């Protein structure tokens, strides 16, 4: 391995030793080290590069992980006698997260090592600074900004690409809390995306200074904020509900409040 590769592996191991329960800053630093480093993936079947190569797997708290080690020294210490392959952290993240698999670092180590769940592999694969650091605390927004929501609803109604809008208050493990707007679109083509971006820019003018606002796509099946919104938040704007005709009494019967003489 090159000197730079050895240094990267050493940084992963250094940060791994700093991780303890509640030390989200140390865990975040470990993710950054992994994004620049490499891991030694343990192969249950086949050899590196062969069509039948298959990673090992383990399950912890209902989540799946592929076990790996952080250096050739740790590989020796693990006692693993089957094959392995050395993979860049970004590459293994891109390979595993779409199937909702994480990696488990040094499961042979005292204390059992550290697991990186698939949601954090997704952050490594797509850019750690682009997504909030978990675990996330999500709730209904308690802030009172009716002008913003009224303007956003008005602008959404004028933007045909928008089907519905939802909202959540997001508190990351690290960093400032923010308001997330879930965008459910009829069409995700570039023209529609551009019109929705313009809609948000026009609406942000009504947000109080200092309040961060972000958006998430409701079509993103991997985003934890989107998943929470789908399960817990009703739309505050719904084009189809807004356009629905008023309910009529069924089966030809008059409404219960009708009066007869």
Q: What is the pTM of this model?
A: 0.82
Distances (CA, A) of 76 to 41, 59, 80, 166: 13, 23, 7, 51
**Residue 125 tokens, joined:** 């694969």
* Distance separating alpha carbons of residues 48 and 86, to the nearest angstrom: 8
CATH class for the domain made up of 137-243? alpha beta
Helix (H, G, I), strand (E, B) or coil at 8: helix
**Residue 32 tokens, joined:** 């950054």
Distances (CA, A) of 62 to 100, 123, 173, 236: 11, 20, 22, 33
Residue 111: which region, alpha, beta or left (left: phi > 0; alpha: psi -120 to 50)? Answer: left
**CA torsion, points 197, 199, 200, 203, in degrees to nearest 10?**
160
**Residue 228 tokens, joined:** 């929470």
Nearest CA to 40 among 119, 104, 94, 102? Answer: 104
Query: Which H or E element spans position 59?
Result: strand 58-60
Q: pLDDT under 70 in the chain at which residues? A: 1-9, 242-261
Domain with CATH 3.30.460 in the chain: 137-243
- Backbone phi, psi, residue 204, to 5°: -60, -20
What is the reported pLDDT for 183?
Answer: 98
What is the reported pLDDT for 49?
Answer: 83
DSSP lists the bridge partners of residue 66 as 103
Contact 105, 39 (CB under 8 A): yes
- How do strand 54-55 and strand 63-69 relate by DSSP bridges? unpaired
């Amino acid at each position: 391995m090159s000197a730079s590769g050895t240094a990267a592996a050493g940084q992963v191991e250094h940060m791994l030793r700093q991780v303890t329960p509640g030390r989200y800053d140390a865990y975040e630093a470990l993710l950054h080290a992994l994004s620049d480093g490499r891991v030694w993936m343990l192969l249950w079947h086949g050899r590196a590069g062969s069509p039948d190569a298959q990673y090992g797997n383990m399950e912890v708290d209902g989540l799946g992980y592929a076990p790996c080690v952080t250096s050739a020294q740790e590989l020796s210490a693990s006692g693993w006698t089957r094959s392995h392959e050395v993979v860049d952290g970004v590459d293994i993240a891109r390979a595993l997260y779409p199937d909702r698999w994480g990696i488990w670092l040094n499961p042979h180590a005292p204390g059992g090592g550290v697991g990186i769940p698939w949601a954090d592999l997704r952050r490594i694969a797509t850019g750690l600074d682009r997504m909030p650091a978990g675990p996330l605390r999500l709730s209904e927004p308690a802030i009172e900004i009716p002008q913003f929501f009224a303007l956003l609803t008005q602008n959404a109604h004028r933007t045909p690409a928008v089907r519905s809008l939802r909202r959540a208050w997001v508190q990351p493990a690290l960093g400032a809390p923010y308001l997330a707007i879930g965008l459910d679109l009829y069409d995700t083509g570039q023209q529609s995306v551009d019109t929705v971006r313009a809609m948000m820019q026009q609406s942000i003018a009504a947000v109080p200074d200092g309040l961060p606002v972000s958006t998430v796509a409701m079509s993103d099946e991997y985003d934890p904020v989107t998943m929470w919104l789908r399960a817990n938040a009703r739309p505050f704007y719904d084009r189809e509900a807004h356009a629905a005709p008023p309910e009529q009494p069924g089966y030809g019967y008059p409404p219960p409040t009708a009066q007869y003489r």
